[in-house]
Amino acid sequence: MVISLKNGFAEAGNVTLFTARFFREVFKPPYELKEFIRQCYTIGYKSIPLVAITGFIMGLVLTIQSRPTLAEFGAESWLPGMVALSLIREIAPVITALICAGKISSGIGAELGSMKVTEQIDAMEVSAINPYKYLVVTRVMATTLMVPLLVVLADGVGILGGFAGINIHSDVTFYRYFSQVLSSLEFLDIVPATIKTFFFGFFIGLIGCYKGFTAANGTESVGKAANSAVVTASLAIFIIDMMAVQLTDLFF
């Protein structure tokens, strides 16, 4: 009990130091721009199909599932607005972030974990290259910028999915559907939901990197790093979401 508590505090301390190091290194030259762009491509561009498909399905399913309840109140005309609001405020950011935790965080954890185990990180260090800057800063920056873009994509595709869902039972033109969606959205629906996605992205990258970078020596630890990166990142997403929603509720 005491040992696990001690380990817990030690882990929290290590994560804090690891995060602090990110802020120390991120502004200091030299900048690894090429690697950052490569990571943006791998993390952002390569996740587009997955995020688009899940985004479309989210919109479609949400519309189909909500229709009967709204129909009971004779409020079917609210469907586009309600779907758009749910998607933009909550569902698209959280589901996309969870998908990214599964795809990106585990990928980073496994990649850096295997680099650590096969001494590639040590090899960088002995050739006087800062592995933290090359591996961690670039990846965390890439996830912080790419996850919000993927969420915006999921928002858009999700709304299209909603349009497909509505047209299963009724006949609504795309123009009418879209103008209803836009009229129901306000500035305050979009901005706080977008801000929180930067935090999602930051933690997805940071947790993946931390788990990989601190993997113990041995191939078993690579699997553990990947697995624990997904679990921790997913949990972090829910915690950040809860805090973001409460802060938004408090201030707006």
Partner 1 sequence: MIQTQTYTIKHTAAGSIKPVINIKGLHKSFENTQILKGVDLNVKKGENLVVLGKSGSGKSVLIKCLVGLVTADQGELKVFDTDITKLNNHQLNTIRIKIGFLFQNSALYDSMTVRDNLSFPLKRHSKKLTNKEVEDSIIEALESVGLKKAIDKMPSELSGGMRKRVGLARTLILRPEIILYDEPTTGLDTITSREISELILSIQKQYKTTSIIITHDMACAKLTGDRLVILKDGVMVAEGSYEALEKSNDSWVRSFFI
Binding site for partner 1 (CB under 8 A): 30, 111, 114-115, 118-120, 122-123, 125-129
Shortest reach from residue 144's CB to partner 1, in Å: 22
In the complex, what is the shortest distance from the CB of residue 154 to partner 1, in angstroms, rounded to a whole number? 28
CB of 27 to partner 1, least distance (A): 17
* Residue among 122 and 186 whose Cβ is closer to partner 1: 122
47: Cα separation from own chain's centroid: 11
d(CA 118, CA 228): 20
Give the residue with the Cβ less far from partner 1, 17 or 250. Answer: 17
Rounded least distance, CB 192 to partner 1, Å: 37
CA angle 182, 186, 191 (to 5 degrees): 115
Nearest residue (CB) to partner 1, 79 versus 110: 110
- Cβ nearer to partner 1, comparing 86 with 114: 114
| Alpha carbon distance 34, 121 (integer Å) | 19
The whole-angstrom distance between residue 118's C-alpha and the CA centroid of its chain comes to 29
DSSP 73: T
Question: Given the complex with partner 1, which of 119 and 186 has the nearer CB atom?
Answer: 119
- Minimum separation from the CB atom of position 194 to partner 1 (A): 32
Rank residues 83 and 121 by Cβ distance to partner 1 and give the closer one. 121
**Identity (one letter) of the amino acid at 2?**
V
How far is residue 65 from each of residues 59, 83, 142, 181, 182, measured CA to CA in Å?
A: 10, 10, 35, 18, 21
Residue 46 beta carbon to partner 1: minimum distance, rounded to whole angstroms: 14
The per-residue DSSP string of 170-233 comes to S---HHHHHHHHHHH--HHHHHHHHHHHHHHHHHHHHHHHHHHHT--SSTHHHHHHHHHHHHHH
